[in-house]
Structure 1
Amino acid sequence: MTGETGIARASTGLADGEWHRLHPASPLLRGGLAFLAVLGIVIANLRERLAEFLIPVFSPDADDAFDTGFGDWRNDWANDPIGGIVSHGWLGWALLGLVVVLVAIIAGFWLSWRFHSFRITDEAVEVRSGILFRSHRSARLDRIQGINVTRPLFARLFGAAKLDVSVAGQSGNVQLAYLGSALADGLRADILRLSSGARAARAAAGAGGARGPGAAGPGAAAGLSAAADADATTDAAGHAGTEASARSRTADLLNRRVDEFLAPELDPALAPPESVVHLPIGRVIGSTLLGGWTIWLILMIALIVAGTINGWFWIWFSIVPGVIGLASYAWSQITKSLRYSIAGTPDGVRIGHGLLSTANRTIPPGRVHAIEASQWILWRPFGWWSVRVNLAGQSISANAESQTRTIVLPVGTADDVRRVLALMLPGEPGALDALVPAGLTGRGDDGGFEPAPRRAAWLHPFSWRRIGWAEREGVAALRRGVLSRSLVLVPLARLQSVAVSDGPLRRMLRLATIRLHTVMGPITPRVPVLDAVAAERAWAHLAGEAIVRAAGDTSHHWGLAAIGAADPARSSEAEVGEAGVGEAGVGEAGAGEAAVGEAGVSGA
């Protein structure tokens, strides 16, 4: 889907600048589950006392046994609060208090929902929340780095989904938890359409055109039209619902929930089939079993066997919990990789995964700062690789969720890696054809890489032949590793700075280290050893090329390219308008100057 068709997609009507509320089940999904869990634990712990209380109600002859059952417990509130309540005749007050607590909790949930609202404007995504202490979060559209749609299992039962807007900067994300499942996907498309620069471009191109005083522009008109259609559809559905029986409405609801559970995370109509990578379940299970955690599992099992043989039964209490934890980790890795798919869409790369709890995220063009393809040694006989990225705004914590969001290919072949890299670095179809194969498995000067000299073997005796770097069409490729092979690709348009460093030992061997600074993330782009003269030459080349590439980069306004494909004249007018009123042009020039300054300081 390209051109005007790619931009003027159907709108949800929520990106109209007005405040809207979330899904009515949002309070229950956010905090109610914890309350239900606590209530379940309390009931489970008091089930015996509840049974003793109910037995004499339905069996009066059991009064004596009931009274004897309380015995010494009746005044011991710590051990048996129900016994104390019954013995003091406070049962009615206790039930009344329980009702009051439940009503207060329900009222709190309702107030939380009423005071939690959001709006989408031409500038930002804003969220207001809080009853006593109010908060107002805002995510600027030009800072959006990606949008994630997550559907936990319990939320899917309500037909709800969580939309997470990632922006540049740490802890700056904005969450809309929760929305209707279909609305979440539609609203993501609306936000991406606004952040792509398409609306500003269309407004600049259409300035002075024949529009009435009350006209709001194509984007807003589309939104209002879609909103009107949605209202009409809602009215029609409501009218039909009044005529249908309760059984048919229930069957329709169940059918919709089943369809949502079985629907793919990625709509096949959004991308050509050849751009999509799917993972066979056998590869997912095999790669998980051959992961690094397997070594720890084997060691733990060996300790358990040795302890059992020698009579050290205490070792079960120390090791078995660790074995259970590793098994749970392996199961979670498998389930997260099931139904995995990745595809290119008009608004960026869409990645989906999950079996029961599902998630899909969209990475808009121009948001990837570094890409790494890595291969664990146990994967080498099968030719498997994984791919992860550095994105601005992603969390630097080591928790499972943040690590999962950095992975764009859990396990794939070399062909899968090339297809994923083509999606992540579009625009240069032949630039990486020679770099990628040589970067994945090559050595020395294969593929035009500049290798480390032989004397680097003193510091890296096993991997010095793998170490090297190359640059093609604005992409720097860094290669290293022998036990765990690694190829890092850095788009120079988003390079922050370049640093050359050496220590006493490296100076004695006439070696140096090159470090490419990007946004913080799991990837550290660096060449550990290189000839000192070659390192200085590489530093100068990369710093200069980064300035040129940053000055000409317009990938963050991918909507302009779509308009240009449909009408080149309007595209040029839109670019003039963007340069005149937007801040993106100034920001890009500033980024280029910052790269020069940082490169000079780092190199010095």
Structure 2
Amino acid sequence: MGAAPYGPGATARYPAPGRPVHGAPYGYAYPPFARPGYAPVVPAPQPVVDFSTGVHRLHWATMPLRVLVVVGVFLAVAGVTLLDFGLPFVALLTMAVTGVAVLGAFGGWWGLRFRVFNDALVLERGVLRRHAQQVPLSRLQAVDIVRPPLMYLLDLSELRLQLAGGDDSEIRFRYLNRKAAEQLRASLLASAAGLSGRTPAAPERDYYQMPFGLLIGAMALRVPVLAAFALLIALGVAGIWVGEPGVLGGMLPLLLGLIRGFLSPLLLYMTFRAAISPDGLRLRYGLVRSRMQTVPPGRVQAVRIVEPLLWRAMGVARVEANVAGYVGDRQMESSVLLPVAPRWLALSLVNQLFPGTEVSQVRLHRAARPSGAVDAAGIDDTVFVTRRGVFCHTTEVIAHARAQLVRLSVGPWQRLRGTATVYVDSPPGPVQVRASGRDPVEARGIVNAVVTRAGRARRETVGPERWATRIRG
């Protein structure tokens, strides 16, 4: 097997712009925000708050909430110990701590001001000593609205801005009125796209709402969950049968594992809903803590479609992605684009995220010496696709325009086997695109093909910044 499938003469099979795609919810491979000639639709309602003019502060309820947190922590940590000095002393000390907390909360609330000015978010902090920070909205990677249970009751929201630049590049607004948070999100996304900050929230179209029965079935039909449940039942029966309570102690780790692997995802994605709008992909989920995640166009760097053994019989899959701006725990928390969905819908979403391709039609070529039951790779003019796995099949897709580094690796064991591995790196995340078990000549052909197409893609698209001003008819 040589480099011909990836050489200059290779042909890519994907639909022309506007060609219908079988099974796609809207009938076309292009998403609304990438369709040539698309013009954003401005809805009739006017903004609740105009963040493009004037200076704004957080909601006033931020102050009493901070005071309650400080006083609660003080009483929980030192209150019991201080009871030995008498209740009046504890009451006076609590009043002093409350006074200091009130001053600190008021200073923090009054000192934090923000405004949207000239395609940038301007933050000013401090009372006696002012500190100003100007954040170009071209660095905006994602916008999340989080509503913990208490904030849900108070009709407040926390707005999180993910910026390019690493782990310290997140900006949080705690807290804003729910409607004000939604309007600020719309204003920031519009400014980042090159539109006016007064542009109201973009309209959206429902893409997928997860059935609750499908979520339960998919979470239960996983080998680790089934094995833990079977072992839990076996230990319980054995403990009762032999009359040895100590055996029941082994049930606790299994029970905690089931809570983490089954109950936690169930509560997290019970209300999952995905929608597509001109300003990006919108995800809403969370039963205990409500969350709305918006990923602007072009911010998804690489995608992974995961099909566990038992899920393949159901025809469902999970879609994960590397989203620029998320790092660490936030990356793992926000990497799931579709927790459980029909496989055709998962493929359709990838087509929406990477316009100009149809992943199911990319011709995949098996490795010369595969390391598993499935080990294949393919390329077209838009994406590089790999597929591997024995029990769990994993399909990984990266757009050529998003490839940051292309590597060819040959380890000691690979030298003995006469194989090589090609890595196509993207920003950090759960997806690592690689093609293993390749003949060295073929691997070199893959590297050359990806590098060539990546250079061409970067010349044709200057990036996702100000995407709304670059749409051509």
Normalised to the residue count of structure 1, the TM-score between the two structures is 0.65
Show the counterpart of 1:52: none
Show the counterpart of 1:528: 436
Show the counterpart of 1:332: 264
Show the counterpart of 2:469: 560
Show the counterpart of 2:286: 354
1:16 aligned to 2:52?
A: yes
Once the two structures are TM-superposed, the CA of residue 92 in structure 1 deviates from its matched residue by 4.8
**CA offsets 1:521-569 (integer angstroms, 9 cap, x no match):** 111100121122111111111101100001111443321145x55xxxx
**CA offsets 1:387-421 (integer angstroms, 9 cap, x no match):** 011122111x2x4x542300000001112212322
Using a 3 Å threshold, how does the CA distance of structure 1 residues 109 and 365 change in structure 2: closer, same or farther? same
Show the counterpart of 2:175: 178
CA contact (8 A) 2:422 2:436 kept: yes
CA contact (8 A) 1:17 1:119 kept: yes
- Please give the alpha-carbon distance, in whole angstroms, between the structure 2 residues aligned to 1:124 and 1:419: 34
2:385 is paired with a residue of what secondary structure? strand
Once the two structures are TM-superposed, the CA of residue 340 in structure 1 deviates from its matched residue by 1.3
**CA offsets 1:29-50 (integer angstroms, 9 cap, x no match):** 567346436647988x7xxxxx
Q: Report matched runs for 1:245-394 at 5 Å.
A: 270-273=203-206, 276-294=207-225, 295-307=227-239, 309-310=241-242, 312-317=244-249, 319-320=251-252, 322-324=254-256, 326-327=258-259, 329-394=261-326
**CA offsets 1:171-202 (integer angstroms, 9 cap, x no match):** 2111112111111111111111111123xxxx
CA contact (8 A) 1:343 1:423 kept: no
1:20 is paired with a residue of what secondary structure? coil
CA contact (8 A) 1:124 1:140 kept: yes
- Name the one with the larger helix percent: 1
Identity percentage of aligned residues:
24
1:495 aligned to 2:426?
A: no
1:3 is paired with a residue of what secondary structure? coil
Letter in 1 for 2:151: A
1:143 aligned to 2:143?
A: no
Show the counterpart of 2:364: 449
Using a 3 Å threshold, how does the CA distance of structure 1 residues 504 and 99 change in structure 2: closer, same or farther? closer
1:473 is paired with a residue of what secondary structure? coil
Show the counterpart of 1:413: 342
- Please give the alpha-carbon distance, in whole angstroms, between the structure 2 residues aligned to 1:31 and 1:160: 17
Letter in 2 for 1:286: G
Using a 3 Å threshold, how does the CA distance of structure 1 residues 28 and 484 change in structure 2: closer, same or farther? farther
- Please give the alpha-carbon distance, in whole angstroms, between the structure 2 residues aligned to 1:510 and 1:325: 41
- Please give the alpha-carbon distance, in whole angstroms, between the structure 1 residues aligned to 2:73 and 2:274: 36
Gap regions ≥5 residues in structure 2: 1-31, 33-37
- Please give the alpha-carbon distance, in whole angstroms, between the structure 2 residues aligned to 1:94 and 1:42: 9
2:452 is paired with a residue of what secondary structure? helix
Using a 3 Å threshold, how does the CA distance of structure 1 residues 133 and 477 change in structure 2: closer, same or farther? farther
- Please give the alpha-carbon distance, in whole angstroms, between the structure 2 residues aligned to 1:97 and 1:34: 13
**CA offsets 1:369-398 (integer angstroms, 9 cap, x no match):** 101101111212211100011122111x2x
Once the two structures are TM-superposed, the CA of residue 311 in structure 1 deviates from its matched residue by 5.2
Using a 3 Å threshold, how does the CA distance of structure 1 residues 531 and 282 change in structure 2: closer, same or farther? same
99-108 or 113-122: which moved more?
99-108
1:108 aligned to 2:104?
A: yes
CA contact (8 A) 2:71 2:97 kept: no
- Please give the alpha-carbon distance, in whole angstroms, between the structure 1 residues aligned to 2:349 and 2:414: 36
1:448 is paired with a residue of what secondary structure? coil
Show the counterpart of 1:210: none
- Please give the alpha-carbon distance, in whole angstroms, between the structure 2 residues aligned to 1:512 and 1:9: 58
- Please give the alpha-carbon distance, in whole angstroms, between the structure 2 residues aligned to 1:309 and 1:147: 55
- Please give the alpha-carbon distance, in whole angstroms, between the structure 1 residues aligned to 2:216 and 2:129: 47
**CA offsets 1:196-247 (integer angstroms, 9 cap, x no match):** 123xxxxxxxxxxxxxxxxxxxx37x58xx9xxxxxxxxxxxxxxxxxxxxx
Once the two structures are TM-superposed, the CA of residue 520 in structure 1 deviates from its matched residue by 0.9
Letter in 1 for 2:194: G
- Please give the alpha-carbon distance, in whole angstroms, between the structure 2 residues aligned to 1:348 and 1:451: 34
- Please give the alpha-carbon distance, in whole angstroms, between the structure 1 residues aligned to 2:409 and 2:72: 56
Letter in 2 for 1:140: P
RMSD: 3.1
1:514 aligned to 2:422?
A: yes
Once the two structures are TM-superposed, the CA of residue 135 in structure 1 deviates from its matched residue by 6.4
- Name the one with the larger strand percent: 2
**CA offsets 1:8-30 (integer angstroms, 9 cap, x no match):** 98545543364321011224556
- Please give the alpha-carbon distance, in whole angstroms, between the structure 2 residues aligned to 1:9 and 1:560: 23
Using a 3 Å threshold, how does the CA distance of structure 1 residues 132 and 9 change in structure 2: closer, same or farther? same
Q: More relative contact order in 1 or in 2 (CA 8 Å, sep 6+)?
A: 2
1:486 aligned to 2:394?
A: yes
**CA offsets 1:458-497 (integer angstroms, 9 cap, x no match):** xx2x42xx21111123111111112111111111011112
CA contact (8 A) 2:113 2:123 kept: yes
Letter in 2 for 1:26: T
- Please give the alpha-carbon distance, in whole angstroms, between the structure 2 residues aligned to 1:526 and 1:342: 28
- Please give the alpha-carbon distance, in whole angstroms, between the structure 2 residues aligned to 1:6 and 1:179: 24
Structure showing greater Rg:
1
Using a 3 Å threshold, how does the CA distance of structure 1 residues 93 and 509 change in structure 2: closer, same or farther? closer
- Please give the alpha-carbon distance, in whole angstroms, between the structure 2 residues aligned to 1:191 and 1:557: 12
Using a 3 Å threshold, how does the CA distance of structure 1 residues 285 and 133 change in structure 2: closer, same or farther? farther
Show the counterpart of 2:13: none
Count of paired positions: 434
Show the counterpart of 2:113: 117
Normalised to the residue count of structure 2, the TM-score between the two structures is 0.82
Show the counterpart of 2:158: 162
Gap regions ≥5 residues in structure 1: 46-77, 86-90, 199-218, 227-266, 439-446, 566-604
2:41 is paired with a residue of what secondary structure? helix
Using a 3 Å threshold, how does the CA distance of structure 1 residues 38 and 316 change in structure 2: closer, same or farther? farther
Once the two structures are TM-superposed, the CA of residue 94 in structure 1 deviates from its matched residue by 4.7
Using a 3 Å threshold, how does the CA distance of structure 1 residues 29 and 359 change in structure 2: closer, same or farther? farther
